[in-house]
Structure 1
Amino acid sequence: MTGRLAEVKGRIGSVRKLGAVIGAMRGIASARVQDATQHVAAIRAYAETIGDAIAEALVLLPSAASAGAHVQASQRHAVILMAAEQGFAGTYNEQVFDAAASLLNAPHVLFLVGDRGVLIAGERHHPPHWSDAMIAHPAQAGPLVSRLADALLGMLASAEITHVTVVHAIPVGTGSIEIVTRRVLPFDYARFPPPAAQVSPRITLPADRLLARLVEEYIVAELLEAVMLAFVAENVARMRAMISAQDNVSETLDALVGTARRLRQEEITEEIVELAAGHPRD
């Protein structure tokens, strides 16, 4: 009996340590969500500013507004997929790949962010053309997007790809995520209605070059937002998984504590019986 009780007490100690680790992981994920959410707001404000500039530049080049309206099917479609970098995020990666299934089952070039996604891509026979690690904190988003943009521009310049779509998770509600699919290229100028006062702005660059640079900057902002939202969603998924794990730990701990009490009571009962019979334990 004593050996069994000692074993149960040892398990109680291990489960409590596991609970502490799970609590710490949940706390880290929560802090990351709060930090990255603030960066999302800043990125969106920047994108809105660039969008206003694009709307004004289109006054100088009205023909560009219809350039992205006629989208034809492309045999070289780049799919940017944002997966998780770390584990303990439930079915996060599977959800992202499932949402992108129609794109991945058609001719495509896969640009994959997130090392956990590389594992899923291998299992599903979708080898990435390019891959990189998902960010661990918001400060890494800029360098990641720069590397991604460089890889895309190389293929765009050689006309190896003409269409670009990004698939990533976003946080919704309280503790939930959903997967969104957004077209990046061909660029949709229709999103930028002309300004109320259509006064030609003063510019120091040719109108076409100015618009091209603004579009590039806007696409970078879009990719930054996608990375940051995916990072938030990954940590929301991790928080949800850790909450579930904490519930399981609590249930296991309660059961072990109950078992320990029962074993201790049985041990005490045995000692009393032995003492009453005149056969005390050595």
Structure 2
Amino acid sequence: MTSRLSEIEGRMATAHQLDAVIRAMRGIAAAREREAQARLAGIRSVAATVGEAIGMVLTATHRDTGGFAREHDLAPVLIVFCTEQGFVGGFNERLLERVENWPSPGAAALFVVGTRGAALADERRLAYDWSVPMASHAEDVMRVAGRISDAVFARFAAHSASAIWLIHAVPAQGAQVAIVTRRLVPFDFDRFRTATRVRPPLLTLPVDKMLTGLAERYVYVELCEGLMLSFAAENAARMTAMLAASDHVGETLKALTREARIVRQDEITTEIVELAVAVAPASGSGIGKRA
């Protein structure tokens, strides 16, 4: 049984190493989730500043933005934020299920953010028009948002009557995640209207050009916020997955420890029996000689 005990002890050593890796990955995910949450305040502050500027321009010019276009006149574009790395449980599956459950999904163009999401879309035979890798670090969010905004405005250059929707995860209570869907475009200027100022702002650019630039900036900031929320939710999901994996490794170690104790006890019992069998004839021959 010595070879069997050595095999079990080898499996236990491997399990301990795996548990150390899992704990390290969980720690990294926790740190990244906290970093993403901390950066959200700055992004929202920029959004508030841009929104205030839009309101000031609208109020000073008394401009009628015309409200939303009718929904059925717009071709929907769905931008889904998936993950670049694995070990996130069913995170990407839930996001693509939301896409598949979209009303008339065949009529919607799909932009997939995240290599894992694109691979899963291929497995599900879900056609997409454009994809880009997801941010692997919080500081990479702005670059990815820039690439997405470029793709969005390129889409408008070819199809001006489009409605842009974001589908992404957000962190929820207890290290859980929730899936949200929100419209990015058509842009609702009316929500930025502010009270009339005593001294109106000085405008040195054409109003249309200024509002277009501010709207593009606000769309970019909203993309940054959605990406950062998705990145935080991704790492929250990874922490949950690593916790489940750690529990599984712990149960495996307990089972291996029990098996090792049984094998070791069997070896001890076998050795005692062998020793007893070896001692018995020697004791018997000694008694015969004394007689």
Fold shared by both chains (TM-score > 0.5): yes
Change (3 A) 1:276 1:71: same
Tell me which residue corresponds to 2:8: 8
Aligned position for 1:89: 88
Q: Aligned to 2:128, what secondary structure does the other structure show? A: coil
Q: Deviations over 1:230-268 (max 9, x none)?
A: 111111111100000000110110110111111111111
| Ranges in structure 2 where 5+ consecutive residues have no aligned partner | 281-291
Equivalent residue, structure 1, for 2:51: 51
Counterparts of 1:1-282 in structure 2, within 5 Å, are 1-65=1-65, 67-74=66-73, 76-100=75-99, 101-102=101-102, 105-159=105-159, 161-195=161-195, 197=197, 199-278=199-278
Counterpart contact for 2:60–2:196, Cα < 8 Å: no
For residue 42 of structure 1, report the CA deviation from its aligned partner.
Answer: 0.8
1:150 offset after TM fit, Å? Answer: 1.3
Q: CA deviation at 1:69?
A: 3.1
Structure label with greater radius of gyration: 2
Q: Write out per-residue CA displacement over residues 85-142 of structure 1, whole angstroms, 9 at most, x where no aligned residue.
A: 1111000001111122215724111111001111221123222211011011122112
Q: Distance in 2 between matches of 1:133 and 1:104?
A: 26
CA contact (8 A) 1:88 1:238 kept: yes
Q: Alignment partner of 2:127: what SS?
A: coil
RMSD over aligned Cα atoms:
1.8
CA contact (8 A) 2:79 2:164 kept: yes
Q: Give the TM-score normalised by structure 1.
A: 0.93
Contact 1:52 / 1:192 at 8 angstroms: preserved in 2? Answer: yes
Measure how far apart 1:200 and its partner are. 2.2
Q: 1:9–1:279: structure 2 CA closer, same or farther, 3 Å change rule?
A: farther
User: How far 1:209 sits from its partner (Å)?
Assistant: 1.5
Alpha carbons 2:83, 2:92 under 8 Å: kept: yes
Give the TM-score normalised by structure 2: 0.90
Q: Residue type of the partner of 2:239?
A: M
Q: What is the number of equivalent residue pairs in this alignment? A: 279
Q: Output the CA distance in 1 between the equivalents of 2:32 and 2:58.
A: 38
Identity %, equivalent residues: 40
Q: Secondary structure at the match of 1:136?
A: coil
- Contact 2:112/2:128 (<8 A) preserved: yes
Q: What is the CA–CA distance in structure 2 between the aligned matches of 1:89 and 1:124, rounded to whole Å?
A: 18
Displacement, 1:186? 0.4
Please give the alpha-carbon distance, in whole angstroms, between the structure 2 residues aligned to 1:208 and 1:60: 13
Contact residue 82 and residue 114 of structure 1 kept, 8 A: yes
How far apart in 1 are the matches of 2:67 and 2:171?
A: 29
